[in-house]
Structure formats: C-alpha cells, structure tokens
A and B are shown apart, each in its own frame.
Chain A
Amino acid sequence: MTSDTTTLERPHPDAAAPLAHPLLEIRGILKAFPGVVALDKVSFQLKAGTVHALMGENGAGKSTLMKIISGIYIPDQGDIFLHGEKITLKSPIDALNRGIAMIHQELNLMPHMTVAENVWITREPQNRFGFVDHKELNRKTAELFAQLSIDIAPDVEIQTLSVASRQMVEIAKAVSYNSDVLIMDEPTSALTETEVAHLFNIIRNLRQQGKGIIYITHKMNELFEIADEFSVFRDGQYIATCASADVTRDDIIRMMVGREIKQMFPKQEVPIGDVVLSVQDLCLEGVFQNITFDIRAGEILGMAGLVGSGRSNVAEALFGVVPATSGTIAINGVGVEIDTPAAALTAGMAFLTEDRKETGCFLSLDIQDNMGAAVLNQNYVNKGFVQSKSLNRDCMEMAQRLRVKTPSMSEVIQNLSGGNQQKVLVGRWLLTHPKILILDEPTRGIDVGAKAEIHKLVSELAGQGVAILMISSEMPEVLGMSDRIMVMHEGRLTGILDRKDADQVSIMELAAK
C-alpha cells in the first residue's frame, strides 16, 4: 500500500469540477421474490472517481441490488440513471455494453484457455482469414495489463494461476469493456495480505481514472482503507450513506445490525485440562513437513499463516481427508490411525471445512438432512433405519440453540444465507459431540451477527472441555479467540505463540519468515 501514495494524494479529476449528475443513481428500487421483499424502495448514488462500499449483513439486500445494477434481475419498481440518463437494463450484456461490469465472487474464467483469450472472449481480434489473431490478442492484453500494473503473462493458461491472479484477470476483463462502473463482490475473500495490497493499488488506479467502484465487503478494515463512501443496508432497506472518514467501526456495525454487538470476541477464561490431541512430526509429502503440536481440553489453538502455507492441509490430514504420509496422531495419549474421515469421526474429531459450498453443504438437501449427515455414522440408527424422531428432535434443538433463521427444518439449505448455512454445518458437527473440533475459517463470508454468535459458541465449547483447532486468515479473530497461536509458513510450523505474546506483528513475522 506504499508504492503509489504519491498519486493517491492527488485530488481526483472530478473533485475539482463536480459533475452535475452522479455517475450512477438508482431511485426507489423495489424487488420482491415470493414471500420476501428483497429490496424495499432503496435509493443510492455512486459518484465518479470514488470507491463506494456497500455494507450490510447477509440477506440485507446488497447482492440483490448488485444484480439489478448489473442487469441480472429486473426491478419491480424504480429507476436507474447512468450519467443522469434513465436506462433500462435487460441483461448482464446490456449492462456491460453500457459500461457497468460486475466482478463476481465466484470467478467465471475458463481454466483451459489463456489469460488473453479469457479477457477478450467474444471480442477476439481476427486476421484477414477470419481466424483469431493471437499475436494481436496478446499485445492488447499486455497493453491493458500494463495500464493496470498487473504482472501476468497474457499467454499462460488460467488454470496455472493463483486465485489472486485470476481475480486480477477478471478485473482487467471488466476494465477492457471501458466500463465506468465496476462492481466488486468480496474481492479479497481468498487473497493474502500482499495480494490485497496489490488489488487496492489497482483499485486506486481505477479510481484515479474516474471510474466508480462499488465494493461489497464484510471486512471492516478494508472499508476504512479503500472506500471513500459507504452505504448501509439492512433487511432490504437503505439505512444511510456516509463518508468513511466521518464514522467509526462501531457506528457502522450499529447501523448494519440495528443493535449493539457487545463483544466481538467473547473469549472466556476456562480451565485448561490435559492434552487431548497430540501431533508428532506429521508430514504430507510435498505439502507440509514435521508438524508437531498439542491441544489441551478447553484450549483454543489458533492457526495462522498466509493462504497456501499448508494450514488447511494439516487440518485435512488430521481428519483423514488426505491422510498424512508420516507422523503420529495421539488422542488422550493413545495413538490412532486416521486414514479416512470416518476413522477421525470415530476417534472423536469433527471438522468444519473451509469451503462451505465445495465440501460442506449438501445444497439440494434440506436443513434436517444437512445437519444429520455426520452423526448417522455412530448414532440414531437402528438396524440400518434412521431413528428420525429423536434425530429430528435433536437437530431442531440444535438449530434453535444456534439460532438458525429459517421457516422450517425442511427448507433446502441452498435458500439460506451464508451465515445460516454455516450454523447448520456447525450444528452437524456439534451433534457428534466431538472431543476435538477443527474449524477452518469458521466465519468466512458470513455477517457480523452470525460471526459473533459463532465466536461465542466456540468459546462455550472450549468451556465444556472441547479441544479446538481454529484456522483463520482474520488476524483479529485469531488474536481474539486463541489461547495459543501456531503459525505456518510454506508447509512448516514456524512458531507457537502464547496469547499474551501474540500480536499482529509477531504473527506476521512468523508467517512471512
């Protein structure tokens, strides 16, 4: 974030002579779906040359609004103005042609095609025989990348790139349509700190060029770092727009949730018991080496490190998803052989995976079946028949305890918000009454309210003597929740810090060692 502070300080081109019209304005947009009003007559303005963050819990209506602005949904009521001119958007392509581009949370690139082919897809330059002119294609891409200071070769295949690089390609693609309005939906959710810094430089560069950027994020720190203004939504309603310089973090949270969140990290001091999980020299060839640590009953062991440092791999090895190639795992002092997740479950472990959609939810099944999936391994089954009465009762109790917001237990999980899905998955593992709970990014992409509830729950579980291993990329979360913090870097354990010695700096030192 230091490289182009000089350009940053310069006033935006539009700041000197403010335009008569905002770049993009929406007025009185109403969008209803069967049974729910997703947006209730909201209005919102985006000025040229600003980064405008949209804030709100999951389900507040941000995504619906973005889908309307990018032409995916047609609003039931209300108007959209671009450069002061009223427009009607019929499809995403329509929006793109008018200069409104959305960069989706899930990237939409074709992995087997090159970077250049992906950027210019449907607009490939042709040679005189009507074939694609690859030379020109790559040249145009290089030019575009230079302008955005992106350092990626145009002719490599997308599948060889990291998530961060793919993100850059998506942004470049959006810019290549000469878009004035760029919408970014949680662009940093899979990025490391340095990658985030690079992304922010690009965003500042775009702002400099007079683009208007709508930025959706759950990360409060980013808001203050990158956004000029922000608007808050809650339950489908527009709450307020403020300049980000004028408010504090707490103000925003209050606006978002409409209530006070007393404590983000309700760490309770609980008695720490005996060693429950003992890991010795765990290796997975080519991925991580010689990982040794213990967790005691009631202890929360945080696990920090950059994305790609091997944290999730260690968790997967512990749970037998990809079994370790050497090393020992002992539970309560007894060595256990864990070669499948089933074996790990039997040994008393539970594993909330990092990727809700890929390895967590059964999207087409209902809450009941999602919650009951892991416990059937040991319980609630008599001669092959599921004892649905007691299982349903216990699932329902769990859902109530976790405050899952849903009309009924037979609601398909796909229809829930991210936070509620996560609660259902947490419930799935709690029903197994684990001795050891592994949490991989337990609060990624979920709203503040659900986040706080999950933090509270994790603390309670520790209080009940569960040994907890918690992987998180969010520094405040690791620092706030953990008794000790182990840090990984490039497949090695670089250190374990006590709560009292740990701070952002000491962790980063170990993580980037």
Chain B
Amino acid sequence: MNTTSVPKTMHSIAKPTLKLPPEFSIFLVLLGICVFFEAIGWYLNDQSFMFNLERLKIIILQMSVIGIIAIGVNLVIITGGIDLSSGSVVAAAAVVSASLAQVSDFPRAIFPELTNLHVFWPLMAGILVGLIAGALNGSLIAMTGIPPFIATLGLMVAARGFAKWFTGGMPVSMLTDDFAWLGEGGNPVVIFLAIAVVFHIVLRYTRFGKYTYAIGANRQAARVSGINVNRHLIWIYAIAGLLSGIAGTVTAARAISGQSGMGVMYELDAIAAVVIGGTSLVGGVGRITGTVIGVLILGVMTSGFTFIRIDAYYQEMVKGAIIVAAVIADQYRNKKKRV
C-alpha cells in the first residue's frame, strides 16, 4: 500500500485527543437538578437547597446503601446480566448479621450463646450470606445457562423467604453499640466510597475488569479469546451478592435492628442508578463514576422533592419517568454516535 490511501492513519495515533469523559453529560444532569431545586428552594422556602451541609450529608447517607448495592449491580450489568435479588439479599444479610450482634442481657436472643460478639463476626456473617447468595446466582447462570433475570428472580423470592423464616417475622433487636457503630455518622458513606474506589480501580486497571467488559461486549468472542467466562460470571455475581451482604449489614446497623422486610425494591433503585449512570443494559459499557453520579441523582431527587414539599406519591411517579427518560436519552446518544 502506498501513499494514496493512508491519509488518516498512524501518524495521528500518538496524538492524544481531548475527549470529555462519558460521565460528563450525566454530571451535567446532576448539576441541572441541583440548580433546579436551588432555584425553587429560594422561591418556596427562602433557603438554599445545596448549600446546606446537613442536607448534603443526609442525601449521601440515605443513598449509601443503594450505592453499595449499585456498585455490584453495575458489574453484573456490564457483563450483560441483571441482578434482581439484591433487595432480598439485603434482608437476609441484615437479619443474620443482626442475630449475631445481640446483647447478652436480652433474654430472647436468637443465639443466646452467641451474644456480645465483636462487630467483626456479624459483619462477616452478613458478608458471607451475601457471598453465598451471589455465588448461587452465578453458578446457576453459568452452569445451567438460564437467563440471569430468572436465576436472580428465584433468589429474590427465596432469600426474602429465608429472612422471614429466620426471624419468624419478628424484628431482630437489642443490638450491641459496637454493631450500631457501623451505621453511625458518616460510616456508611465511607464504606460506599471505599467500595466505589476499589471497584473503579478493578474495572479500569485489572485483568478482571478488562474481562468483565469483554464478556459483556461479546460473550462468544470472550470465550474464544481464552477467557473462562463461566468462572468469571460466578465471581461477578458472587461480588454483587457480597456487596448486597455488606449493604444489608449496614442497613441493620443503621436501624439497630434486623428485619425481614428490609431492602424491598432496593434492587430496582440500584438498577435505576446504574442505568442513569450510563451503563448499557446490553452489556460492555459502564463505569463506576457514572454509577456514583447516578446514585447521587436519585438521592438529590428524593431529597429535593421532599424539600419543595412534593408528595411522596408524586415523587415515585416522577422518579419512574426520569429512569425511563435516562435510558431514552442514552439510546438516542448511542444512535447518534453510530451514524
């Protein structure tokens, strides 16, 4: 090949092109929502929405449990799967961890001989419950080839049932201060952000991350490229389960009580955050930074609607609309790019 047809080739490869990160547009949406509530806040309440440290703290605190779940759900969705079991796993992990965190002078403790334990044990128990649930999801999907939707739907029902059976429908209460500390102050936020940083690094800089994207982008090609797809998927769902386990433990610690009704619909909030954050449900695309922004958008919206005193029922309707709008916008963007 000679000169005629090498115009746009290699000399230009080395040139770094200035490109905005894909999260930029979602970040603008977040900013827009903030400005919206800020303006309405001054108009209706005569006070600032954003420049209120207390409120910001609460927004992040309320969303950190969803955020922890969403990180795992993000991994799952990047591989082209879905996890519907997160909310139920939160409940299962919450009741199990709480059962190992009860104080010794409580006569009706679930495990009377296992009371006043160091916070390490209930935390490990919660994590383990999540890990087992996730590994079960992953193994089902990898070994039997059933769709992730069905596998995790099964576990969504089963894990909720487990939590109810475990507690007999009663709250697991009288928990140690040690355990409650997990949910106090900014601790859930710290846990959420630490997990986000870890998985941001995992996705971007490790082989595990590269393989995650590859499997989501083209499962067949991933296998032919020497990737053990089944083993990887089991890991992915196990991690998602594990993170739900942590989320459940934190939820129990925050409420100082473990209840089988915890975490209802959390899976949908997490999926919504992930999708708003720009992860494609088709797989192969998505970043942790986007998911964190998606989580913040959901949080700001919930808080903002309350702030401008919009009824909770309307909130849900608007939230539903925004989730759908996010996906439509994303699709539109993709289509434009492809042409």
- Give the chain A neighbours of B260 by CB distance below 8 A: none
Which of B10, B206, B218 is within 8 Å of A361, CB to CB? Answer: B218
Q: Does A358 contact B (CB under 8 A)?
A: yes
Q: Is the CB of A406 within 8 A of B13?
A: yes
- Give the chain B neighbours of A321 by CB distance below 8 A: 223-224
Q: Is the CB of A353 within 8 A of B224?
A: yes
Q: Is the CB of A365 within 8 A of B213?
A: yes
CB proximity of B11 to chain A, nearest CB, Å = 10
Q: Is the CB of B225 within 8 A of A428?
A: yes
Q: A341-B225, A373-B214, A376-B211 are in contact. Are A403 and B10 (CB under 8 A)?
A: yes
Interface residues of A in 128-178 (CB under 8 A from B): none
| Docked pose: A321 CA to B219 CA in angstroms | 12
**Interface 1/0 per residue, B198-239 and A, CB below 8 Å:** 000000011110110110111011111111100000000000
Q: Is the CB of B221 within 8 A of A359?
A: yes
Residue of A nearest to B213 (CB): A365
Q: Does B335 contact A (CB under 8 A)?
A: no
In the complex, identify which listed stretch (A238-246, A378-386, A460-468) lies at the interface while the others stay far away.
Answer: A378-386
- Give the chain A neighbours of B282 by CB distance below 8 A: 364
Q: Does A298 contact B (CB under 8 A)?
A: no
Q: Is the CB of A453 within 8 A of B213?
A: no
Q: Is the CB of A359 within 8 A of B17?
A: no
Q: Is the CB of A384 within 8 A of B9?
A: no
Q: A364-B285, A406-B13 are in contact. Are A385 and B1 (CB under 8 A)?
A: no
> Number of residues in A with C-beta < 8 Å to the partner?
51
Which of A341, A385, A405 is within 8 Å of B224, CB to CB? Answer: A341
> Number of residues in B with C-beta < 8 Å to the partner?
41
Q: Is the CB of B5 within 8 A of A259?
A: yes
Q: Is the CB of A258 within 8 A of B5?
A: yes
Q: Does B52 contact A (CB under 8 A)?
A: no
Q: Is the CB of A373 within 8 A of B220?
A: no
- Give the chain A neighbours of B283 by CB distance below 8 A: 364
| Docked pose: A428 CA to B226 CA in angstroms | 12
CB proximity of A349 to chain B, nearest CB, Å = 10
Q: Is the CB of B226 within 8 A of A358?
A: no
Q: Is the CB of B213 within 8 A of A403?
A: no
**Interface 1/0 per residue, B1-24 and A, CB below 8 Å:** 110111011101111010100000
Q: Is the CB of B214 within 8 A of A365?
A: yes
Q: Does B339 contact A (CB under 8 A)?
A: yes
Q: Is the CB of A372 within 8 A of B210?
A: yes
Q: Does A319 contact B (CB under 8 A)?
A: yes
**Interface 1/0 per residue, B287-310 and A, CB below 8 Å:** 000000000000000000000000
Q: A359-B220, A361-B218 are in contact. Are A453 and B284 (CB under 8 A)?
A: no
| Docked pose: A452 CA to B5 CA in angstroms | 14
- Give the chain A neighbours of B13 by CB distance below 8 A: 396, 399-400, 406-409
Which of B1, B6, B208 is within 8 Å of A384, CB to CB? Answer: B208
Q: Is the CB of B10 within 8 A of A400?
A: yes
Which of B17, B214, B223 is within 8 Å of A407, CB to CB? Answer: B17
| Docked pose: A337 CA to B224 CA in angstroms | 16
Q: Does A224 contact B (CB under 8 A)?
A: no
Q: Does B338 contact A (CB under 8 A)?
A: yes
- Give the chain A neighbours of B214 by CB distance below 8 A: 362, 365, 369, 373
| Docked pose: A340 CA to B216 CA in angstroms | 19
Q: Is the CB of B9 within 8 A of A405?
A: yes
| Docked pose: A345 CA to B222 CA in angstroms | 13
Q: Does A374 contact B (CB under 8 A)?
A: yes
Q: Is the CB of A384 within 8 A of B207?
A: yes
CB proximity of B98 to chain A, nearest CB, Å = 34
CB proximity of A80 to chain B, nearest CB, Å = 20
- Give the chain B neighbours of A346 by CB distance below 8 A: 226
Q: A342-B226, A342-B227, A399-B13 are in contact. Are A365 and B206 (CB under 8 A)?
A: no
- Give the chain A neighbours of B285 by CB distance below 8 A: 364
Q: Is the CB of A403 within 8 A of B228?
A: no
- Give the chain A neighbours of B14 by CB distance below 8 A: 396
Which of B213, B225, B228 is within 8 Å of A374, CB to CB? Answer: B225
Q: Is the CB of A362 within 8 A of B8?
A: no
Q: Is the CB of A407 within 8 A of B210?
A: no
**Interface 1/0 per residue, A252-280 and B, CB below 8 Å:** 00000111000000000000000000000
Q: Does A291 contact B (CB under 8 A)?
A: no
Interface residues of A in 331-359 (CB under 8 A from B): 340-342, 344-346, 351, 353, 358-359
Q: Does A388 contact B (CB under 8 A)?
A: yes
CB proximity of B33 to chain A, nearest CB, Å = 28
CB proximity of A258 to chain B, nearest CB, Å = 5
- Give the chain A neighbours of B1 by CB distance below 8 A: 259, 403, 449, 452-453
- Give the chain B neighbours of A235 by CB distance below 8 A: 5
Which of A344, A386, A405 is within 8 Å of B207, CB to CB? Answer: A386
| Docked pose: A358 CA to B210 CA in angstroms | 19
| Docked pose: A125 CA to B119 CA in angstroms | 72
Q: Does B280 contact A (CB under 8 A)?
A: yes
Q: Does A363 contact B (CB under 8 A)?
A: yes
- Give the chain A neighbours of B218 by CB distance below 8 A: 358-363
CB proximity of A236 to chain B, nearest CB, Å = 12
- Give the chain A neighbours of B280 by CB distance below 8 A: 364
Q: Is the CB of A408 within 8 A of B12?
A: yes
Q: Is the CB of A386 within 8 A of B205?
A: yes
**Interface 1/0 per residue, A302-325 and B, CB below 8 Å:** 000000000000000001010000
- Give the chain B neighbours of A326 by CB distance below 8 A: none
Q: A341-B223, A359-B218, A396-B13 are in contact. Are A405 and B6 (CB under 8 A)?
A: yes
| Docked pose: A341 CA to B221 CA in angstroms | 10
Which of A365, A405, A410 is within 8 Å of B284, CB to CB? Answer: A365
Q: A259-B5, A384-B208 are in contact. Are A399 and B220 (CB under 8 A)?
A: no
| Docked pose: A204 CA to B208 CA in angstroms | 55
- Give the chain B neighbours of A192 by CB distance below 8 A: none
Interface core residue of A57, A377, A404 (most chain B CB under 10 Å): A377
| Docked pose: A128 CA to B261 CA in angstroms | 55
CB proximity of B287 to chain A, nearest CB, Å = 13
Q: What are 21 A-to-B residue pairs whose CB atoms are below 8 Å?
A: A340-B226, A340-B228, A360-B221, A362-B214, A365-B213, A365-B217, A365-B284, A369-B213, A369-B214, A373-B227, A384-B208, A385-B205, A405-B9, A406-B8, A406-B9, A407-B12, A408-B12, A410-B17, A410-B19, A428-B225, A449-B1
Given A386-B207, A406-B9, A406-B13: 20 more A-B contacts, CB < 8 Å:
A57-B5, A257-B5, A259-B2, A321-B224, A340-B223, A351-B224, A359-B221, A362-B218, A364-B284, A373-B221, A373-B222, A374-B225, A377-B227, A384-B207, A386-B205, A386-B206, A400-B13, A406-B8, A407-B13, A410-B19
Interfacial residues, chain A to chain B (CB-CB below 8 A): 33, 57, 235, 257-259, 319, 321, 340-342, 344-346, 351, 353, 358-365, 369, 372-374, 376-377, 381, 384-386, 388, 396, 399-400, 403-410, 414, 428, 449, 452-453
Closest 9 CB pairs of A and B: A362-B217, A364-B284, A345-B226, A377-B226, A374-B225, A342-B226, A373-B225, A359-B220, A400-B10
